[in-house]
């Protein structure tokens, strides 16, 4: 078979004959012309079939092609100032690989449920394509950030014997003659790894039996979690703001075209640079109460409250020292006020809410044991975790960033379900 090239590279072949392999995105016909929009996963290009310059068989094949039919096109690359790509193809030959049946997704408006039922096909459309490429860039940049700072990647298990983030959202499964739970967070293992390697990160899917049907919740989502030995809450926030800045700036640099497809207002992303505002929980409560007088001091923030706070700032805001009662058992108490935990959440602008949750961890054996008992957690399952406080305990901190919420914010789309190739929610397990 002849050599073929990717559409994204056509500029290098201006004036030359090339072969492209792809799928028919769209077609227009007028008299002796067939305008075929060919996509190959890298780009879309217009291929012009002129009856006068191809064999009758080739013209007939171009006429037959249906949406999403697979085909191989050979033709000459020529400049076309009107197209976004800047080039089109003057077709000499066309080979059909398969004629597609009537494609379920057409130009007309479809409901989200219909599109989600056809997620395996919907991924081919422009907007979904752009979103998944932005997701890829966020993940690439996230790994780059930690790799270039000498953090060691330590993969943590999916099957776990205990809860990390509260027992109400655990997915339980039979594990031979015992119970196992799908991991809610790699953090506890990350802490063990930080005591071995200093700075580590884990990255993988995490699971929560979330019974909430919101635009921010998935049951399976991807989280990247750094953990650092000899690190306090302020240093943890320093890393978090540098990290999020790197993610945003990388997408702006490497995924401009995709942001354009999504019609994202990028001016709102350009100024995402340190320092990010840092406010105490009590300060956040003051802000909320001005707009929501019913808010009860000491409560956790709801989505609406987070929006009120984030609207005050033009970049992500970090709220720290939440009431210990609304936060996880492993967080260290604030030495200034034991009712507050050394916790921090990063809230994204434009109403996207929490993208990062993190904290300084309890490093004292007795205090941690007390917390485990208070939370009615099975002591035996946490014996190894308590060991970390027996053998060379040090101050340490870390955080977790949810990939899907971060992509939703950077891409400027409302719902997290479109930021992951095959979303899992309370009501969706297919396809």
Residues making contact with ligand 4AD (CB under 6 A): 164-165, 185, 187, 208, 210, 217-218, 221, 223, 225, 354-359, 398-400, 402, 404-405, 416
Q: How far is CA 210 from CA 57, 166, 220, in A?
A: 57, 12, 9
218 binds, among ligand 4AD, Mg ion, none (CB under 5 to 8 A by kind): ligand 4AD
Structure tokens at 151: 């953090």
21 binds, among ligand 4AD, Mg ion, none (CB under 5 to 8 A by kind): none
Nearer to Mg ion, 349 or 357 (CB): 357
Cβ 324 to ligand 4AD shortest distance, Å: 15
Nearer to ligand 4AD, 87 or 409 (CB): 409
A 10 A CB-CB count for 6 gives 14
Residue ranges of the alpha helices (H) in 279-397? 281-291, 303-310, 365-374, 383-387
Give 94-142 as a DSSP string.
EEEEE-----S--SS---HHHHHHTHHHHTTSHHHHHHHHHHHHHHHHH
Cβ 236 to ligand 4AD shortest distance, Å: 9
Cβ 186 to Mg ion shortest distance, Å: 15
Strand order across the beta sheet in which 159-160 lies: 159-160, 178-182, 172-175
Judge contact between 4 and 18, C-beta under 8 A: yes
Q: Give strand pairing partners of 160.
A: 181
Cβ 356 to ligand 4AD shortest distance, Å: 5
Residues in touch with Mg ion (CB under 5 A): 357
Nearer to ligand 4AD, 119 or 405 (CB): 405
Cβ 165 to ligand 4AD shortest distance, Å: 5
Q: Is 288 exposed, middle or buried (0-12, 13-18, 19+ CB in 10 A)?
A: buried
Nearer to Mg ion, 316 or 357 (CB): 357
Nearer to Mg ion, 166 or 412 (CB): 166
349 binds, among ligand 4AD, Mg ion, none (CB under 5 to 8 A by kind): none
């Amino acid at each position: 078979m002849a050599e073929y090239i990717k559409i994204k590279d056509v500029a290098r072949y201006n004036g030359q004959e090339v072969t492209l392999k792809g799928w028919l995105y769209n077609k227009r016909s007028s008299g002796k012309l067939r305008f075929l929009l060919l996509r190959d996963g890298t780009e879309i290009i217009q291929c012009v079939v002129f009856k006068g310059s191809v064999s009758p068989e080739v013209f007939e094949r171009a006429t037959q092609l249906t949406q999403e039919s697979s085909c191989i096109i050979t033709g000459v690359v020529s400049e076309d100032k009107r197209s976004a790509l800047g080039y089109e193809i003057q077709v000499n030959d066309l080979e059909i690989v398969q004629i597609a049946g009537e494609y379920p997704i057409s130009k007309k408006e479809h409901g989200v449920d219909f599109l989600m039922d056809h997620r395996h096909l919907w991924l081919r459309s422009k907007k979904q394509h752009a979103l998944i490429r932005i997701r890829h860039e966020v993940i690439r940049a996230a790994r780059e950030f930690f790799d270039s700072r000498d953090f060691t990647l330590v993969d943590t298990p999916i099957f776990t014997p205990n809860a990390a983030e509260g027992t109400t959202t655990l997915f339980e499964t039979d594990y031979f003659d015992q119970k196992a739970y799908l991991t809610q967070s790699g953090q506890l293992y990350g802490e063990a790894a930080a005591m071995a390697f200093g700075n580590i990160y884990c990255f993988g899917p995490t699971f929560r039996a979330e019974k909430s049907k919101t635009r921010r919740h998935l049951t399976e989502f991807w989280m990247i979690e750094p953990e650092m030995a000899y690190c306090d809450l302020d240093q943890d926030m320093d890393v978090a703001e540098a990290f999020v800045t790197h993610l945003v700036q990388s997408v702006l640099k490497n995924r401009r075209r995709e942001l354009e497809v999504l019609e994202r207002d990028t001016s709102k992303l350009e100024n995402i640079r340190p320092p990010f505002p840092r406010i105490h929980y009590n300060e956040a409560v003051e802000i909320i109460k001005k707009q929501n007088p019913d808010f009860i001091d000491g409560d956790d923030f709801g989505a609406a409250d987070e929006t009120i706070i984030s609207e005050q700032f033009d970049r992500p805001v970090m709220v720290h020292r939440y009431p210990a009662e609304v936060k996880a058992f492993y967080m260290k108490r604030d030495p200034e006020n034991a009712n507050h935990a050394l916790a921090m959440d990063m809230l994204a602008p434009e109403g996207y809410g929490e993208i990062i949750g993190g904290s300084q961890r309890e490093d004292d054996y007795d205090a941690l044991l007390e917390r485990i008992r208070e939370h009615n957690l099975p002591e035996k399952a946490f014996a190894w975790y308590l060991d970390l406080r027996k053998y060379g305990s040090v101050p340490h901190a870390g955080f977790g960033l949810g990939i899907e919420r971060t992509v939703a914010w950077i891409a400027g789309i409302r719902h997290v379900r479109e930021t992951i190739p095959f979303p899992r929610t309370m009501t969706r397990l297919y396809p």
